[in-house]
Amino acid sequence: MKELRLILGDQLNLNHSWYQVIDPSVIYLMMEVASEAERSPQHAQKILGTFAAMRAFSESLTSLGHRVHYVTISAPDNQQSFSSNVSYFCQKFAVSSFVWQEPDSWYVDQELKKFFNSSSLDGGDTTTEHFLEPRDGLSLFMKSRSIWKMENWYRHLRVKHNVLMEEGKPIGGAWNFDKENRKSWRGDPSPDSTSRPTHDHSALWSEIIKAKVITFGNPDAAAFQWPSNRDESLAMLKRFCDTNLQFFGDYQDAMSEKSQTLFHSLLSFSLNLKMISPHEVLNAALDALEPDHNNIASVEGFVRQVLGWREYVRGIYWAKMPDYLSSNAFAFSNKLPAWFWTGEVDMKCMNVTINQSLDTAYAHHIQRLMIVGNFSLLAGLDPRDVHLWYLGIYIDALEWVEVPNTIGMSQYADGGILATKPYVSSSAYINRMSDYCKSCKYQRKEKHGAQSCPFDTLYWDFLITHRKAFKNNPRMAMMLKNIDRKTESEMVKIAARARDLRDNIENL
């Protein structure tokens, strides 16, 4: 009996039990398809990095003795969709069984199940052996709880997986050190930036262009800086734990023109393609905990992201899809301005973040959340369009993790399922956490004039407009209370300037 096993582009887990036995009756199928790029344009580095890592993975399997059939983007028999390719190659190789690892995308999951159910093949799906929790782990945990809260889930996982626990209590005496993790960064200490590999992917890039895959952003093909395999990913993990992790906690919310990545790990691409596992990442971070627990704030801050947020957003995705994608709690419908794709905008914070994203396919969490996301929500942009922008631009953007972060955390379009309050701020937060405002055309001190900061006007306008909707939310109480300090005439000016900003959004 011959069996076809599908390996998707984000299933590059060399430690999967599939590969422990070499079986000549098993054919592994890998394919480069452009269907994702048809839904929304993708950053050149995302396509390049994914294809490069897939090709390297295929070579690794082949060198171990496995039989791999790899369909390149320009292969004449590439059917350009997952199910069409699977159908075609099942017939071509005359297999009687088809097996696949659970896709992380709801759509691909549906597509493969539909194909399988309509076929007469044996087989079925199996786990990716990557995540700490199953797809439905979060919804089962939340069954008896009325409010979905990341913190409850995170504490549950800390105990369940015995992470940073000592005699049943959290190490360091607290579950959370967020208050210590809010420093701005003025240039010292220096972040380490030596951990990244360099590849010349020029030949692959030419192939992608020839295949007419729609991309945008800087391909950086000749000096490509994202890892292509497990060894490079592990080297980045080690270097991060040896250097930047100790400052991760203090500066995780900081932003600066002087450093694009600061003390962040840049591991999301490796993790999401499964070149490394969350277990490995967590263990490496836990090994870096000093015996006196002096660096607990940094280690816990990092563990919270990988164990808490990453597993949480995945659980939300599987609990709420497919309806989640069309959530639009505020019924916002404004279009994204063209400068989201060019970076040609005078608002310094947006200019820096968008240009960096176009150039490197990366922005760190606070840039995504409190700069671009914050602006998008305050400006009333259509959350579906915002989602497609995020899905296209970031190297690590896969729907299961991008959608809850964008639709839920950043745009509050789910009405508060993922986040307990909208992540909105005025320029005060941006100025405190970054050096962007110093060299901005807009003036924080000016109140309502043409040079006043768009974030300030839009922030107040958002709070005033949605005041009623948030009146029972205790986490919004402080913010809403400040509205009472505004006079009637000030509110009129805010509304007028906000209208003007939205009408002239292309010219900010």
Ligand X SMILES: Cc1cc2nc3c(=O)[nH]c(=O)nc-3n(C[C@H](O)[C@H](O)[C@H](O)COP(=O)(O)OP(=O)(O)OC[C@H]3O[C@@H](n4cnc5c(N)ncnc54)[C@H](O)[C@@H]3O)c2cc1C
- Name the minimum Å distance from CB 93 to ligand X: 34
453 binds, among ligand X, ligand SF4, none (CB under 5 to 8 A by kind): ligand SF4
410 binds, among ligand SF4, ligand X, none (CB under 5 to 8 A by kind): ligand X
Q: How far is the CB of 348 from ligand SF4 (least distance, A)?
A: 4
- 11 or 405: CB nearest ligand X: 405
440 binds, among ligand X, ligand SF4, none (CB under 5 to 8 A by kind): ligand SF4
427 makes contact, choosing from ligand X, ligand SF4, none, with CB < 5 to 8 Å by partner type, with ligand SF4
Map the footprint of ligand X across residues 322-381, applying CB under 6 A: 364-365, 368-369, 373
With residues binned 3-state (H G I as helix, E B as strand, rest as coil), the percentages for the chain, rounded to 5, are 50, 10, 40
H helices of 273-367, in order, are: 278-287, 296-303, 311-320, 339-342, 348-360, 365-366
From the CB of 497, what's the least distance to ligand SF4, in Å? Answer: 13
Q: Which of 86, 255, 271, 358 binds ligand X (CB under 6 A)?
A: 271
Of residues 64 and 338, the one with the C-beta less far from ligand SF4: 338
Burial of 341 (0-12, 13-18, 19+ CB in 10 A): middle
Nearer to ligand X, 298 or 406 (CB): 406
Is 181 a binding residue for ligand X by CB under 6 A? The answer is no
Report the candidate in 6, 2, 7 with the shortest Cα–Cα distance to residue 25. Answer: 2
User: Which of the residues 297 through 326 are near ligand X (CB under 6 A)?
Assistant: 305-306, 309-310, 313
| 224 interface partner picked from ligand SF4, ligand X, none, CB below 5 to 8 A per type | none
Site size with ligand X, rule: CB under 6 A:
27
Q: Which does 402 bind (CB under 5 to 8 A by kind): ligand X, ligand SF4, none?
A: ligand X
Of residues 57 and 375, the one with the C-beta less far from ligand X: 375
Kindly give, in sequence order, each residue whose CB lies less than 8 Å from that of residue 96, ignoring residues fewer than 6 positions away: 1, 2, 3, 121, 122
- C-alpha radius of gyration, the chain, whole number: 24
Cα 308–Cα 256–Cα 42 angle in degrees, nearest 5: 65
Candidates 139-147, 188-196, 264-272, 325-333; binding stretch for ligand X (CB under 6 A): 264-272
Q: Look up residue 416 and give its DSSP letter.
A: S
Tokens matching residue 313: 């957003």
Interface with ligand X (CB under 6 A), residue from 85, 128, 181, 272: 272
Sequence-distant (≥ 6) Cβ neighbours of residue 113 within 8 angstroms: 125
Paired strand residues for 100: 6, 125
Q: Which stretch binds ligand X (CB under 6 A): 76-84, 133-141, 316-324, 392-400?
A: 392-400
Which residues in the 396-455 window bind ligand X by CB under 6 A?
396-397, 401-402, 405-406, 409-410
CB of 298 to ligand X, least distance (A): 11
Residue 309 site contact among ligand SF4, ligand X, none (CB < 5 to 8 Å, cut-off depends on kind)? ligand X
> How many whole angstroms separate alpha carbon 241 and alpha carbon 255?
21
Q: Which residues pair with 5 in a beta bridge?
A: 28, 99
* From ligand SF4, ligand X, none, interface partner of 300 (C-beta below 5 to 8 A by class): none
In this chain, which of 4, 44, 54, 267 binds ligand X, going by CB under 6 A? 267
d(CA 228, CA 204): 13
Q: Which of 5, 16, 264, 384 binds ligand X (CB under 6 A)?
A: 264
195: CB partners within 8 A, 6+ apart:
235, 236, 239, 240, 243, 266
Cα dihedral across residues 138, 140, 141, 146: positive or negative: positive
Binding residues for ligand SF4, rule: CB under 6 A, are: 347-349, 427, 430-431, 436-437, 440, 442, 444, 453-455
Cis? peptide before 189, omega within 30° of 0: yes
Measured CA to CA, the distance from residue 349 to residue 471 in angstroms comes to 30
User: How crowded is residue 498: how many other Cβ atoms within 10 Å of its Cβ?
Assistant: 23
Distance CA 457, CA 462 (A): 9
Q: Which is nearer to ligand SF4, 312 or 436 (CB)?
A: 436
Q: Which does 358 bind (CB under 5 to 8 A by kind): ligand X, ligand SF4, none?
A: none
Q: What is the DSSP-derived secondary structure letter of residue 322? A: T
- The footprint of ligand X (CB under 6 A) covers 264-268, 271-272, 305-306, 309-310, 313, 364-365, 368-369, 373, 390, 394, 396-397, 401-402, 405-406, 409-410
